[in-house]
Amino acid sequence: MPTTPETVALYLADLMPRLKPSTLKRRLAGIAKLHRIFDLPNPTDHFDVDLAIRRARRLKPQRPSQALGITAEIRDRLLAVCGDDLAGPRDQVLVAVGFDTLCRRGELVALAAEDLQANHHGTLSILLRRAKNDPYGTGRIAHLAELTIAIVERWLEAADTMRGPLLRPVYCDHPIPRYMEPSSVGRELKKLAVAAGLDAAQVRQISGHSLRVGAAQQLTLNGVQLLPIMRAGGWRSVNIVARYIENVDVNVWSK
């Protein structure tokens, strides 16, 4: 160090037959970060490096895969099969709140009971304190439907808590006062999907992102415009939202 843009471009050319462009971009970010730490010129900010990344993208074009969207119809089926034990109302909160807030899985499991707040509509909202694209914790407010509010209140009463993690692991029918792991969201959704009778192909496509995808698709089907959808999901890029809703059949050719 410091390395040169030419060396970085050759490094990318050597790796591009084996690695995905997204992996190469992460490598570049690491190289750039190291140079900034040592107050050295950034070798990745150069035309030769940009050209190498463009070559990598052309060499391995990739269409991003998308999780199955849990729309309102699937959401209702999942809610209906939640169990009678204490995990049942917890799972209903996971599904209903995840759908209403369009949370990413990490944001969903990070919600706390004290983040619930009454709003001027006489209903409840919830504060999402931090997000993937909000590292400094500006936060955003998400509004809950009446059905979701009833589900949340029932769970809080059953768990006998008004503070701490909203979603908690349940062992031997007892809520554990700690936050769930983000990876558990996808597992719980898949379990409910199997119980709800979704076919195997649909179950395989479900992930911790399915509630966010499905809610965006449902808003589109309901005729909600782009800017309110972006606000609801905390998106800042129109292109990202467009990918989320590209599988929605809005029948643009109908009169």
Beta carbons within 10 angstroms of residue 227's beta carbon: 11
User: How many angstroms separate the CA atoms of 44 and 27, rounded?
Assistant: 10
Angle, CA 38 vertex, CA 36 and CA 42 arms, to 5°: 40
pLDDT on residue 255: 44
The average pLDDT across 139-157 equals 95
pLDDT on residue 253: 47
Are 51 and 87 within 8 A, CB to CB? Answer: no
Indicate the pLDDT class of residue 252, thresholds 50, 70 and 90: very low
Whether omega before 165 lies within 30 degrees of 0, making that bond cis, reads no
pLDDT on residue 166: 96
What region does 65 belong to: left with phi over 0, alpha with psi -120 to 50, or beta? beta
The order of strands in the sheet holding 116-118 is: 116-118, 124-128, 140-143
* Phi, psi of 16, rounded to the nearest 5 degrees: -60, -30
The average pLDDT across 117-125 equals 88
Length of the chain, in residues: 255
User: How many angstroms separate the CA atoms of 97 and 42, rounded?
Assistant: 43
Does residue 62 surpass a pLDDT of 50?
Answer: yes
Three-class SS of residue 237? coil
pLDDT on residue 120: 83
pLDDT digits (tens, 9 = 90+) for 5-28: 999 999 999 999 999 999 999 999
- Domains of the chain from N-terminus onward: 5-59 (1.10.150.130), 72-244 (1.10.443.10)
Are 191 and 125 within 8 A, CB to CB? Answer: no
pLDDT digits (tens, 9 = 90+) for 192-212: 999 999 999 999 999 999 999
Percentage of the chain beyond pLDDT 90 is 80
